[in-house]
Homo-oligomer: A and B are copies of this chain.
């Protein structure tokens, strides 16, 4: 597996563009992703009961699981916009579909930004036409730029693997979770690949990859109205079809998981006000569900996150979060490390120089490992610390 340039346009047969249509105060704010061939589509969407209009439509569309294009805007989430919001999504997909000569059901739509406000449709009209004119085989980075809200940098990656002798590529772009948008935390991720894979197998691969990466990512624990991962596979690599259970299937899933993992890391590293990137590893849990619940509970704990900001090895807060996660915990079996420093050994604190415990806290990247000592399952949560700036960014913004 080797890393390659080009993000979502690294795989063959994909074009992308990012343009400014004026929804945000500044910067590009409309992205178009396009495949020359019909794609298998996979998707993972927010479980929030308040779903943005685009999510409602994408979830209907994914049942057909065929796609050619994705229109994404930043600056306005088109959420809590009622019937009008759905009509606007339908208009966007029909309009883009007509310009691209693609059926409406093969055009996906995603939005991120303020909620409760109707999309500025006149601007979007112009934006779609401009984006169409700019569609480019090297447009991946421009698209990554255009989906940003308060992200401080575009997020993208691409990898190449070999399947049945053919080079197959997987690329992705994403924008940040965690109150990135002033109104709402939104995570958007778009994945493209030139692999040949049917939608059912593709969906399984995506769910499995997202479950251990983007779904283990948290900045502040809220799932937005718009959170979406949409993946397109167009088969343009010429590789033979990836069949479930075949060795190629495992290779492909591994590469897809790596791409999703990198996107999760990139988002956590760019969390609002973050000064540190943090991974919580829960190992030797009785079940995977236990490991994930415990890791996410620690990653979501304001107590833990403020202690990390303060560079304080406050292991009590970590154990407390684990103990309150609902995961099976036997205190006498549980151990805890900050970086390589063992802090708690089988339920009791290790006697040590406090400076030694503090050392890993001073790094920009912190790994906390909780060993439950009960089984063989593990999970990792990706997060960042909670700083003054987190409160500032989120308190000072006025709707």
Contact = CB atoms under 8 A, between A and B. Distances in A.
Contact of A397 (B223, B310, B330, B331): B310
A50 B372 CA distance: 12
Interface in A269-306: 300-303, 306
A367 interface: no
Nearest to A332: B82
A312 B348 contact: no
A313 B225 contact: no
A395 interface: yes
Interface residues of A, number: 67
B50 A320 contact: yes
A341 to B, nearest CB: 13
A50 B327 CA distance: 12
Contact of A323 (B48, B303, B307, B392): B48
Interface string A301-341: 11100110110111111011111100111111010000000
Contacts of A388: 388, 391-392
A221 to B, nearest CB: 7
Copies of this protein in the complex: 2
A297 B370 CA distance: 26
A348 B323 CA distance: 39
A82 B225 contact: no
Given A225-B323, A320-B50, A392-B388, A312 B116 contact: no
A181 to B, nearest CB: 9
A344 interface: yes
Contacts of A221: 300-302
A349 interface: yes
A49 B372 CA distance: 12
A331 B51 CA distance: 9
Given A48-B320, A307-B395, A315-B399, 5 more contacts: A49-B327, A82-B332, A116-B316, A184-B303, A220-B303
